[in-house]
Amino acid sequence: MMPAPDSVAPREALPHVVRTVVDIAASPARVFEALTEPAELAAWWAGGDAHVSDCGADPRPGGAWHVRLVDGNGVERLVAGEYRVVDAPHRLEQSWQADDDAAPSVVRYDLEPREVGGTEGTRLTVTHSSPVALATATSAPGRASALAVHVARHPHAGPPRAVVVGRAPSATLHLAPRRRATWLVSA
């Protein structure tokens, strides 16, 4: 039986970019280090019942990176890609392919110095462009900047919060089971 077509709501319901902002009480140089050094990645990528079994980073344009996680059930997940922009301590951009993503995506980190809790800190803005955004930018060059205009900034000092940039994601009302993604969300 087909579900009612309404349940998938493709009408302009395709969010393109997930943007998350976080203020961290550490210098941009220190944050940049944590984003690009294998020992650092191994330290903070682990979480919940998952640990990092292997990771590597070669932070220069074209250099590869990967993180391999193993969860409490012994299920292994790999996220990997290449660095595209390495501009310490301001900006980092890397391609991103989790082994259960259908297509690669791109993650960009922007680091701005800012006082956080009375000390030298960093506002880190992470922009994760979905495969749809990438395909859209490729198929119509004018659209990439249009996407940027859509971006709603949510500066705040609280816990990080993801903002979907683009149109109302009504399709998310009827998701396929998320079991393949649960490893991503263990805190």
Partner 1 sequence: MSRARASTDPFTAVADPTRRALLDRLREGAAPVAELAAGFAMSRPAVSKHLRVLRDARLVRERRGGDDGRQRIYELTPAPLREIARWTAAYEVFWPAHLARLKRHLERPPEDPTS
80 touching partner 1, by CB under 8 A: no
User: Taking the complex as a whole, how short is the minimal distance between the CB of residue 88 and partner 1, in angstroms?
Assistant: 16
The answer to whether the beta carbons of residues 131 and 103 sit under 8 Å apart is yes
Query: Of 62 and 155, which has the nearer Cβ to partner 1?
Result: 155
User: Taking the complex as a whole, how short is the minimal distance between the CB of residue 5 and partner 1, in angstroms?
Assistant: 5
Query: Of 30 and 84, which has the nearer Cβ to partner 1?
Result: 30
User: Which residue shows structure tokens 């960093």?
Assistant: 122
Reference 97, options 111, 72, 77; nearest CA is 77
149 touching partner 1, by CB under 8 A: no
Query: Of 8 and 85, which has the nearer Cβ to partner 1?
Result: 8
45 touching partner 1, by CB under 8 A: yes
- How many residues touch partner 1 under the rule CB under 8 A: the total is 64
Query: Of 37 and 62, which has the nearer Cβ to partner 1?
Result: 37
The answer to whether the beta carbons of residues 82 and 76 sit under 8 Å apart is no
The residues that bridge with 22 in the sheet, in sequence order, are: 124
Which CA distances in Å does 103 have to 47, 58, 182? 25, 22, 18
